[in-house]
Amino acid sequence: MNRNGRRGDDREVIDRSGDANRGPVRALWTIAAVSVVGQLALVPIGRAASWDEAIYLSQVAPDAPTLPFVASRARGIVALVAPLAGTGVPLTAIRILLAIVAAVAIAGAFRVWVHPLGWGAPLGAALFGSSWLVLLYGGEVMPNLWSAILAVAATGFAVEAASVDVPGHPDAERHRRRSLFAAGIALSAMAFVRPSDAVFLAVALVFVPAFSRRDRRLAATIGAGVLAGLAPWIVEMTVRFGGPGGAVRAALDASHVSAVGGFGERLLQHAALSDGPTIGPVSEPVSVLGVAWWLWLVVLAVVALSARPRRRGVTAAVVAAAALGAGYLVFVGGYAPRFLLPALALLSVAAGAGALSLGARWVDATPGRSRGAIAVGAIALAITGLLLVWNVATAVRVGEAIGSTRATERRAGETVRELAAGEDCAVVATAAFPQIGLASGCRSRPVRPGEDPIAWLAVRASAGDRVFVAVGPGTSSPIDGAGVLAATEGWTIYEP
């Protein structure tokens, strides 16, 4: 019996890998395997690069000129794919490896939550891993899913560090130090991948009362971890933009950040995008099932918060999810469903605990209340099953749509590559200029309002480049009198 009068607390705090944890851990690895199969089977694995992917890949691809890297981007995802992308392997191979590593990373991150949540951890991982966003972005060269995974791990380690309550016990202190170190590393990696997300999470964790008011060492670790991860971005952007202030202003401009007005519009836009497409704004109506999916996770999180006794870490997960979600809903004017992946991941942690609580009530129901418990359980299973089917169908639909669009962009770029015939080249594109540049191997730039593309092409031509203009569907050539060289699926390639 410890100083708080609770029998067996020493074992509860120190032993994190007992028999009770084996079932949930095995379930997590099963979920990881299913997630890999889902990612590879439901979404076209051979899809071409998106706008953002082309920019990230161009930083390390051996056969493509480097595309401009705006201040709001960080190089964490570039570092992750560099060992493969730098060797020139096909994008399909990179997607397969990313899907596998992402599924394993999700299992590992939710593994941190097995001790505080038990079976709630694999339930949360299943809710998160079956979402159409994870099924789609697991194989994408994009930072948002990795930010989400690291957020789950960082918050879990912070919860573990804050829960060690056996002062003076050597094993407990060792576990606490390990948890603190792991939380700092996870936050540092998160900041390296997605700086703004890490800052939102750090602020949330520091202000969780259970942490900040009694644990200065944890707060210091959180701050140090974020600063360590931000350091590479700060150094690079300070050099490029003449100081930290210029770097921050450039990042805010590039990421469409605004601190005033528009919350209602942003909320409606994200609700409309909850079933795709992958970028907004859109004019489609709000998706009923998309909103229902988020609301169901919120309901399960509320169940977890109201459970008595409340499972450890649920409050931290909910506060962190709210902070990460509000960061985009309140401050960011850009619209993309992937922005909310970190919030979705942490909300799934709490929702898993809520699902476990509902299941426990069902199992423990007295005979007189069994009908009500069975009805609640049946309704919960039906809702979860319906939303699972909806997520799978949405992943298939959105994956097919982006696969078709990106295929035409890649073929346009490949056409430019064929026309260049191995010569150095430059291309101006009316749309999708990063994708055209990556696929063609040419220097590329967009048609910007108020700018004359002829001047840039003339400079490139004088340097010995073959120059081209790629005109996308629904757009017109920015250069009068240019000669048509080729046409493919709505794209026309001109020579000025």
Q: What number is the average pLDDT over the span 135-158?
A: 97
Asked whether 149 and 102 are in contact (CB, 8 A), the reply is yes
Please list the alpha-helical segments (H only) found in 112-143.
Answer: 114-117, 120-129, 132-137
pLDDT value of residue 21: 85
Q: Which of 470, 383, 395 is nearest to 426 (CA)?
A: 470
pLDDT value of residue 5: 37
How many other β-carbons are positioned within 10 Å of the β-carbon of residue 170?
9
| Distance between CA atoms of residues 104 and 328, nearest Å | 27
- pLDDT tens-place string over residues 426-458: 999 999 999 999 999 999 999 887 778 889 999
| Distance between CA atoms of residues 496 and 481, nearest Å | 7
* Angle between helix 91-111 and helix 144-163 axes, rounded to 10 deg: 20
Amino acid making up residue 77: I
In terms of residues, how long is the chain?
496
| Distance between CA atoms of residues 229 and 242, nearest Å | 20
Q: pTM higher than 0.85 for the full model?
A: yes
Q: What number is the average pLDDT over the span 383-410?
A: 97
- pLDDT tens-place string over residues 75-95: 999 999 999 999 999 999 999
Asked whether 145 and 339 are in contact (CB, 8 A), the reply is no
Interior angle at CA 171, CA 166 and CA 173, nearest 5 = 60
Q: Is residue 303 within a helix (H) or strand (E), and if so which, with residue range? A: helix 288-306
| Distance between CA atoms of residues 299 and 294, nearest Å | 9
